[in-house]
Structure 1
């Protein structure tokens, strides 16, 4: 019998059906792999990232990072592994969560567990599993807001969870989408699609300057445990 320490694990491959424990074990054995996900017990391994994905990703992270800087008690993550349930361990492009009093936590080994309040994905098209299997998983696990940027059709979908189902949120007359979970998180949709990051951040600053955001910050401050 081959000693256990010499057993070589097979690599993760698209379509593999694994438990979460098996998935994590194989993922850990592939340090060169940058992104893999377990969705409904099925493995999805990402292809190399092209600029049509990486540029929108960078813009989203800048937008969320500026909001985090102005909102103590809110945490922002880039490509975190999220342990949602026994069959689902996605790796969203971006996550925004409450550090205290939310529905997710940091595990002892440094992973996100539970449902963060807001998740962002960059998708090629409506055919992507981001808008099908993964969307159902996110809704079932209670992620309150879900944003998808379809890069080929140049469309941004912002969903909010109501009665266990995602519903689309539409921009106001000025073309701005506003978060329901993170007050003051405003997104100038057309400016983002046009690559006008300066206008995106200017609009965000307007949201951050609102009384609603200040009230939200005060609420978060009271939720932070005293040292």
Structure 2
């Protein structure tokens, strides 16, 4: 279970700014992150602060394709999609994945909201667009998601023009293989289908068409 980040400092003691590479507890990380203005993305990965570079088109366009694909599916299946939401996983990990698709947060569910409104738990599906962070997404983050039993994990490696969709089987992630039509199909969400060629070409119409076949 995740301990609530509720400790407070005396107002006379200023908070230090977040710095890339800082080693912090979850409580300290959230206090500093909430105190900073102008910082749109920071993550705590195994106790270490990661602050990514500005977003280039190589990341932004695939991100838009994924958001549209998941939004369309979520709208038709009464699910929740959370783009770029901070996800509290355990006392050393607070990620900000590009997209989360899950059932509605509720006490006792796979995901829930803490008192400050942060999403906690293990969502059914997490997506990362890896333009410059593939080594982190496929190593450190993958290990944490696997350990905390996130059911499915999709990583779009833009530099390599590859999409990896992992499914949790007996405590291990297994990379899903496309069917003979070049499509990947979620095992958790029936009908959530991704046309690999269409996605990699950022062909939005074809990506959405796969959801309706």
Q: Output the TM-score relative to the length of structure 2.
A: 0.91
The residue aligned with 2:85 is 80
Q: 3-state DSSP class of the match of 1:147?
A: strand
> Map of 1:201-220 to 2, 5 A cutoff?
201-206=208-213
Instruction: Please report how far the alpha carbon of residue 15 of structure 1 lies from its aligned counterpart in structure 2 after TM superposition.
Output: 1.1
Q: 3-state DSSP class of the match of 1:134?
A: helix
For 1:142-199, what per-residue CA distance to the aligned partner results, in whole angstroms no more than 9, with x for missing partners?
1000000001111000000111111100110001100011111000011110121101
Out of 104, 121, 139, the position equivalent to 1:114 is 121
Distance 1:32 1:126 in 2: 21
* 2:42 paired with 1:36: yes
Greater helix proportion: 1
Distance 2:138 2:91 in 1: 21
Q: 3-state DSSP class of the match of 1:203?
A: helix
> Map of 1:90-169 to 2, 5 A cutoff?
90-99=95-104, 102-124=109-131, 127-169=134-176
Distance 1:173 1:148 in 2: 21
- Larger Cα Rg: Structure 1 or Structure 2? 1
For 1:94-115, what per-residue CA distance to the aligned partner results, in whole angstroms no more than 9, with x for missing partners?
0001116741112232111101
Q: Which runs of 5+ in 2 are unaligned?
A: 1-8
* 2:23 paired with 1:17: yes
Query: Alignment length, in residue pairs?
Result: 203
Distance 2:76 2:134 in 1: 36
The residue aligned with 2:194 is 187
Instruction: Please report how far the alpha carbon of residue 127 of structure 1 lies from its aligned counterpart in structure 2 after TM superposition.
Output: 4.7
Distance 1:127 1:77, change over 3 A: closer
Distance 2:208 2:36 in 1: 37
Q: Which runs of 5+ in 1 are unaligned?
A: 207-227
The residue aligned with 2:67 is 61
Q: 3-state DSSP class of the match of 1:129?
A: helix
Instruction: Please report how far the alpha carbon of residue 76 of structure 1 lies from its aligned counterpart in structure 2 after TM superposition.
Output: 0.5
The residue aligned with 1:217 is none
Out of 159, 164, 182, the position equivalent to 1:175 is 182
Q: 3-state DSSP class of the match of 1:63?
A: helix
Tell whether the 8 Å contact from 2:131 to 2:158 is kept in structure 1 after alignment.
Answer: yes
User: Which consecutive segments of 4 or more residues in structure 1 shift more than 4 A?
Assistant: none
Q: Output the TM-score relative to the length of structure 1.
A: 0.86
